[in-house]
Amino acid sequence: MLASFLRERDDALGNGSHLSHSRINRYLLCPEQYRLYYLEKLRPTVPPAALVFGQIVHQALAALVAQKVDPVRHFHDSWGMLKGVPLDFNQRESWEKLSASGEGLLAKFASEEFPKLSHIESVERPFTLKITSLDSPFVGVIDLVAEVEGKRTVADWKTAGSAFDEHEAAMSDQLTAYKLSEPAAEQLALCVLVKTKEPQILWHLTDRTGDRLVEYLNKVGYVAREIAAGRFYKRPGLWCAWCDFLPVCLGDKRKAGETLVTVP
Ligand code: SF4
């Protein structure tokens, strides 16, 4: 079961030579991290609890919106199966705290946010774009296409430890990629489920102009050419502190052997 949480959702769609928001984003953060993740196929032996939690919340939201399944029960059953399973919790997290947080957030979403949705067109919908300027298909998964308070909206669900800043939706490359797939959408949204003691759900609405789409496609093309040319290099920064591959970059073979595993 845990193996499925180690795979990015859009990665399950392509044949390995595809492009996606996740791939471009990881390359831009650190090309060496991209190489270790996608080419060496290294993954943490113990998955991050926040990642697993986020995916289970996603699944519960999808079950609610697509099939009207009780999301709290859905989450409770899935998260319950992981009690006692090794997960990498940060200092502020525990299985119990995330359990309470997930149930609180999903109950709030079901009672306060779900009624705002109408004309639900799709949930967790995969897309593949063949763009003439790119040699490989660009794939992704759109969480939700529906009317939000009367406007046709393409939305991405996020779980986060703190509220997003207002600029994040406006700057999100993921929402730009969604807009490429759904050009007729009236607006784009990040729906952020914040894991604070008192559950918060915040919608951040935005849109994209044609110029922004062209700008993003130019960036994707640039990164795709770098990847195809095999240009991978370390890009050290603050993010190394939470990078799974730090033992590899430090040459610590013993720790790398203990904390990383190669996936098929
Ligand atoms: S530790 Fe830093 S330099 Fe090494 S792969 Fe991770 S992000 Fe890149």
| Maximum distance among all Cα pairs of the chain, rounded to whole angstroms | 56
pLDDT of residue 3: 54
pLDDT of residue 195: 93
Give distance in angstroms: CA of 37 to centre of ligand 1.
Answer: 11
Using alpha carbons only, give the angle 170, 62, 205 rounded to the nearest 5 degrees.
20
* SS3 of residue 194 by DSSP: strand
* SS3 of residue 260 by DSSP: strand
Task: Give me the sign of the Cα torsion angle 180, 186, 192, 193.
Answer: negative
Whether ligand 1 lies within 6 angstroms of the CB of 239 is answered as: yes
pLDDT in tens, 181-199: 999 999 999 999 999 889 9
pLDDT of residue 30: 98
Reported as a pLDDT band with limits 50, 70 and 90, residue 144 is very high
Domain boundaries, the chain: 2-228
pLDDT of 12 > 80? The answer is: no
Percentage of the chain lying above the pLDDT 90 cut = 87
Whether ligand 1 lies within 6 angstroms of the CB of 30 is answered as: yes
pLDDT in tens, 219-260: 999 999 999 999 999 999 999 999 999 999 999 999 999 999
Q: What is the mean pLDDT of residues 84-111?
A: 94
Q: Could you tell me how far CA 59 lies from the centroid of its own chain?
A: 12
Q: What is the mean pLDDT of residues 162-178?
A: 95
> How is domain 2-228 classified at the architecture level of CATH?
Alpha-Beta Complex (3.90)
Q: What is the mean pLDDT of residues 70-84?
A: 96
The residue nearest atom 5 of ligand 1, judged by CA position, is 33
Whether ligand 1 lies within 6 angstroms of the CB of 28 is answered as: no
Using alpha carbons only, give the angle 20, 24, 28 rounded to the nearest 5 degrees.
170
Q: What is the mean pLDDT of residues 85-112?
A: 95
E-assigned strand segments in the chain: 19-20, 42-44, 117-129, 138-148, 151-160, 187-194, 200-206, 260-262
Give distance in angstroms: CA of 241 to centre of ligand 1.
Answer: 9
Mean of the per-residue pLDDT values of the chain: 93
pLDDT of 62 > 60? The answer is: yes
Select from 245, 250, 252, 255 the residue to mutate for testing ligand 1; criterion: most ligand atoms less than 8 Å from CB.
245
pTM recorded for the entire structure: 0.91
pLDDT of residue 157: 96
**Residue carrying structure tokens 């079901």:** 110
Q: Which atom of ligand 1 is nearest to the CA of 237?
A: 2
* SS3 of residue 182 by DSSP: coil
Percentage of the chain lying above the pLDDT 70 cut = 94
Q: For the residues of 29-78, what is the DSSP string, one character each? A: H-HHHHIIIIIS-EEESS-BHHHHHHHHHHHHHHHHHHH---HHHHHHHH
Reported as a pLDDT band with limits 50, 70 and 90, residue 91 is confident
Q: Which has the higher per-residue pLDDT, 46 or 11?
A: 46
**Residue carrying structure tokens 């509220």:** 163
Whether ligand 1 lies within 6 angstroms of the CB of 245 is answered as: yes
pLDDT of residue 17: 79
